[in-house]
């Protein structure tokens, strides 16, 4: 057992994977025993991921604000306490609403190459507001 005090460094979400201002606090990273990684992700109003998939799926646990979870042709509001279970290779995006912050814990396993996600196109404004 190891207790890590909160000294994590907040990382800015890179522009090739996100639209708008996104900040990620690492929670846990893969190691020799586990492929699980988790992060606490904060989205400013209007910010969202690009379209992407996860080779081993993903669980999102909403902790704050009001957010959106999108799949092709369907956008749904998510709020604190909501849990989103994303299937392996299911195309989706997640983010804040245009007028609220949103934070979630994102939990997923990495693949054999250590990658948690496969990234695609940015979510257009018309997809975001659909
Ligand atoms: Mn995802």
List the chain pLDDT tens, one digit each, 130 residues. Answer: 888 887 778 999 999 999 999 999 999 999 999 999 999 999 999 999 999 999 999 999 999 999 999 999 999 999 999 999 999 999 999 999 999 999 999 999 999 999 999 999 999 999 999 8
Residue 113 CA, ligand 1 centroid: distance in Å: 18
Residue 68 CA, ligand 1 centroid: distance in Å: 12
Contact at 8 Å (CB) between 45 and 101? yes
Residue 118 CA, ligand 1 centroid: distance in Å: 9
Contact at 8 Å (CB) between 92 and 25? no
73 Rama sector, left if φ>0, alpha if ψ -120 to 50, beta otherwise: left
Residue 73 CA, ligand 1 centroid: distance in Å: 16
Q: What is the CA radius of gyration of the chain?
A: 14
Read off the pTM: 0.94
Long-range pairs, 7-13, Cβ under 8 A, ≥24: 13/41, 13/47
Contact at 8 Å (CB) between 28 and 47? no
> Tokens for 73?
């042709």
């Amino acid at each position: 057992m190891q207790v890590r005090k909160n000294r994590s460094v907040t990382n800015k979400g890179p522009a090739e994977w996100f639209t708008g201002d996104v900040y990620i606090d690492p929670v846990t990273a893969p190691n020799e025993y586990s492929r699980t990684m988790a992060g606490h992700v904060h989205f400013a109003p209007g910010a969202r991921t690009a379209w992407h998939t996860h080779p081993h799926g993903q669980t999102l646990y909403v902790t704050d604000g009001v957010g959106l979870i999108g799949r092709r042709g369907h956008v749904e509001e998510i709020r604190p306490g909501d849990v989103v279970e994303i299937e392996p290779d299911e195309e989706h995006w997640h983010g804040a609403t245009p007028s609220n912050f949103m934070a979630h814990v994102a939990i997923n396993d990495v693949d054999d190459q250590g990658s948690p996600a496969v990234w695609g196109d940015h979510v257009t404004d018309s997809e975001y507001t659909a």
